[in-house]
Amino acid sequence: EIILAIETSCDETAVAIVKNGTELLANIVASQIESHKRFGGVVPEVASRHHVEQITIVIDEALNKAELEPADLTAVAVTEGPGLVGALLIGVNAAKAFAFAHGLPLVPVHHIAGHIYANRLVKEMTFPLLSLIVSGGHTELVLMEEHGTFKVIGETRDDAAGEAYDKVARTLNMPYPGGPHIDKLAQEGEPNIDLPRAWLEPESLDFSFSGLKSAVINTVHNAAQRGEVIKPEDLAASFQASVVDVLVEKTYRAADQYKVKQVLLAGGVAANKGLRKALEERFKNTGYDLVIPPLHLCTDNAAMIAAAGSVAYQKGTRADMALNGVPGLDLEAQ
């Protein structure tokens, strides 16, 4: 079984080809970051136009890389949502056209299911499992009892972790996307600035990052007013420590509460060095099987969509030519 997958939910035009759900034959990502940088964030219309320009080129590149013809493929998987509607539509329509032209079944995939399934390219999944999803638009703890079923047991009440990183980075005058820059700066500083940690109610597995974001912005402004100097690397380290502490502790609590076998990290912020290290330390010698994907499978890519698409294909999930991009697609309804 060979799946070609298409991902265009945000600002990466990505196509991958995966054999039997786990063997990566091609993984092409055309990033648009350079085009969005000068606006300080993703501009939806600009994203859509880039996807239109890139999608057929990237599909051809993936087939060339894998040394395959469309006739060698078993199915086409595509991100149905969530994401930017105009961006999603380019991928969905390309997938429909490709599937129709080559007589292939079409398999719709949820973007966050994709992020989770990036882990299956690293290691076979064992259930029940817990996944911590930390991305530009999501911060969730998801419980899976079996392939393809998702239960959200905790989620952010305001900003996503990646969003908080990007907003704090903007305050520190760093280019978009700020997450990687803060991460790098944090390695050089000391977490010596007192910032809040949103634990919420004692039993809650939810998250909140807007208070922390405001606290960082206030710290910067107050220091400027008083003429004090704050080392940006210390602020980055302090912010990162605050985010990571809460993410790691709530993930551990959830793993313990739901007696899972495996813990998977997923989403763009999973590329964060501080988070990866802290999770490894917290889960060391605990009996939980912690899986952390390599960096190129954390941020948006189509390999993860192919991995999730393979499982969906085996389960019989199909879409017809009426498939649409769904910006607010629900993970639990999958």
- Interface positions with Mg ion (CB under 5 A): 10-11, 300
Cβ(13)–Cβ(58) below 8 Å: yes
Residue with the closest Cβ to ligand ATP?
Answer: 268
206 is in an annotated binding site: no
The pair of three-digit structure tokens given for residue 205, joined into one six-digit string: 């597995």
Q: Which does 271 bind (CB under 5 to 8 A by kind): Fe ion, ligand ATP, Mg ion, none?
A: ligand ATP
Q: Is residue 300 part of the contact set for Fe ion (CB under 5 A)? A: yes
Dihedral class, residue 227 (left if φ above 0, else alpha if ψ from -120 to 50, else beta): left
| Shortest spacing between CB 253 and ligand ATP, in angstroms | 22
Q: How far apart are CA 324 and CA 334, in angstroms?
A: 15
**Least distance in Å: CB of 139 to ligand ATP?**
8
> 133 labelled as ligand-binding?
yes
Distance CA 272, CA 84 (A): 24
Angle between helix 210-226 and helix 161-171 axes, rounded to 10 deg? 10
Cβ-based nearer residue to Mg ion, 176 or 313: 176
Closer residue to ligand ATP in complex, CB, 233/261: 233
Which stretch in 40-48, 134-142, 216-224, 286-294 sits in contact with Fe ion by CB under 5 A? Answer: 134-142
Peptide linkage before 128 cis (omega within 30 of 0): yes
Task: Please state the closest distance from residue 320 (CB atom) to Mg ion, in A.
Answer: 29
Structure tokens at 275: 């988070």
Write out 3-50 in H/E/C secondary structure: EEEEECCCCEEEEEEEECCCEEEEEEEEECHHHHHCCCCCCHHHHHHH
The item of Fe ion, ligand ATP, Mg ion, none sharing an interface with residue 14, based on CB under 5 to 8 Å by kind, is: none
The answer to whether 179 is annotated as binding is: yes
Nearer to ligand ATP, 193 or 271 (CB): 271
CB of 115 closer than 8 Å to CB of 266: yes
- Residue ranges that bind ligand ATP, judged by CB under 6 A: 9-10, 82-83, 111, 115, 135-138, 162, 165-166, 177-180, 183, 267-269, 271-272, 299-300
Asked whether 196 and 211 are in contact (CB, 8 A), the reply is yes
Q: Is 115 annotated as a binding residue?
A: yes
Structure tokens at 144: 């899976």
The minimum distance between CB 168 and Mg ion, in angstroms, equals: 17
Burial profile 24-58: b = 16 or more Cβ within 10 angstroms, e = fewer: bbbbbbbebeeebeeeeebbeebbbbbbbebbeeb
- Pick the closer one to ligand ATP by CB: 83 or 154: 83
135 binds Fe ion (CB under 5 A): yes
Ramachandran category for residue 148: left, alpha or beta (phi over 0 → left; psi -120 to 50 → alpha): left
Residue 165 CB, shortest distance to ligand ATP, in Å, is 4
For residues 108 and 136, which CB has a smaller minimum distance to Mg ion in the complex?
Answer: 136
Is 159 a binding residue for Fe ion by CB under 5 A? The answer is no
Phi, psi of 291 (to 5 degrees): -120, 130
180 makes contact, choosing from Mg ion, ligand ATP, Fe ion, none, with CB < 5 to 8 Å by partner type, with ligand ATP
Residue 21 binds which one of Fe ion, ligand ATP, Mg ion, none, with CB within 5 to 8 A depending on kind?
none
User: How far apart, in whole angstroms, are the C-alpha atoms of residue 134 and residue 271?
Assistant: 10
Binding residues: 111, 115, 133-137, 166, 179, 183, 272, 300
Binding residues for substrate: 133-137, 166, 179, 183, 272
